[in-house]
Amino acid sequence: MKLEEEVVRRQRSRALITALLLGAFVVLMFFITIAKTGKNW
Amino acid sequence: MPAIELTNPAALPADWRDLLALTKPRVMSLVVFTALCGLLAAPSLPPPVLGFTAILCIALGAGACGALNQWYEADIDAKMRRTAGRPLPAGRMDRQSALHFGVGLAFFSVLLMGLASNWFAAALLTASILFYVLIYTVWLKPRTAQNIVIGGAAGAFPPLIGWVAATGHVSALPLLLFAIIFLWTPPHFWALSLFVRSDYAAAGIPMLPVVAGVPSTRRQIFLYSLPMAAAAVAPWLLGLTGAIYGASAAVLSAMFVLLAARVLANRATEPARMAPEKKLFAYSVFYLFALFAVLVADRWLAA
């Protein structure tokens, strides 16, 4: 495999996973905020 | 960018699978399970999303420990068959990426734990990460045969952190859970180190079988299994759990001591003839899973 192709492939897969994790983190923070503010905990 | 043939994979951006492998997912499963049991055994439960976040933080903290351990021990890992295929010794990733990944995970896990649960749990998580990386990996492991004995404390933190994440304070039961894992760690790791001792010897790690010999290690395994069994039944004897846990802990621990006695009786020195050691190692993993599962079942049935 050529270096250029492999670098692009890895960057793409990492970018996709980073995007998914960031999305999950935003959703998690939303629900954490609801839980922390919704109840005197 | 020039289209040249791929000769040095470590020069490439790390593959996400290798980043995942840095976190030692198999070790993490036991950490997550014991932390979850610590949280579920607590007298008051947090809202599900906060409980989930606490366990996630403990898992990420354990992943950070795994990454920083592999970053520090890349040279040692390269000398052992069991670990030579890991991302760093295999040359699939550069060390700096592993360091950044580990430190980043550690900071993120502690910060999120503090914000979502409480700062006492975050402080314990910080202590467990620092203990594993600095006290165990950097200081004890390359220097003393007692590395596992003292370093075992790092692996004993998760149920304590789970409990504190749920309640905000420490009491007798989570301290006993800490003690159980602390005393379980030496026989668990020494059973493994008996049949992979040539690996440890080649890497220059002073594990007990390398330094003190096989018979002495077998003696220590059996001796440690006795206080471990006592710690396992102590929650019942102290009235902190019910009879379901007490009876199960007694049976599971008796089996552990029996297998440790078989290890003590074994005279073989070749790994191929160390069936009792391999059996004890496999059983020790089951033992911890079963003990903690029964603890949660007992607490929930009593509630």
Per-residue pLDDT at A1: 61
Beta-carbon separation of A36 and B50 below 8 A = yes
CA–CA distance, A21 with A5 (Å, rounded to integer) = 24
CA–CA distance, B58 with B45 (Å, rounded to integer) = 17
B50 CB within 8 Å of a chain A CB: yes
Beta-carbon separation of A28 and B6 below 8 A = no
Could you state, in chain order, the average pLDDT of each consecutive group of 10 residues for chain B (303 residues)? 50 84 91 96 94 97 96 92 91 92 97 97 98 95 90 93 97 97 96 91 89 95 98 97 97 98 95 94 97 95 83
Per-residue pLDDT at B3: 42
Beta-carbon separation of A1 and B53 below 8 A = no
Beta-carbon separation of A41 and B13 below 8 A = no
Structure tokens at B188: 């668990």
Per-residue pLDDT at B1: 42
**pTM of the entire predicted model:** 0.90
CA–CA distance, B241 with B243 (Å, rounded to integer) = 7
Beta-carbon separation of A4 and B115 below 8 A = no
Per-residue pLDDT at B294: 97
A26 CB within 8 Å of a chain B CB: no
Structure tokens at A24: 């999950």
Per-residue pLDDT band for A33 (boundaries 50, 70, 90) equals: very high
Beta-carbon separation of B12 and A17 below 8 A = no
For residue B47, what is the nearest residue in chain A, using CA coordinates? A35
Per-residue pLDDT at A38: 78
B49 CB within 8 Å of a chain A CB: yes
Per-residue pLDDT at B81: 87
Per-residue pLDDT at B2: 44
A31 CB within 8 Å of a chain B CB: yes
Per-residue pLDDT at B80: 87
Per-residue pLDDT at B48: 95
A12 CB within 8 Å of a chain B CB: no
Nearest CB among A6, A14, A28 relative to B16 is that of A14
- CA nearest neighbour of B90 among B200, B193, B197, B15: B15
B13-142: CATH number: 1.10.357.140
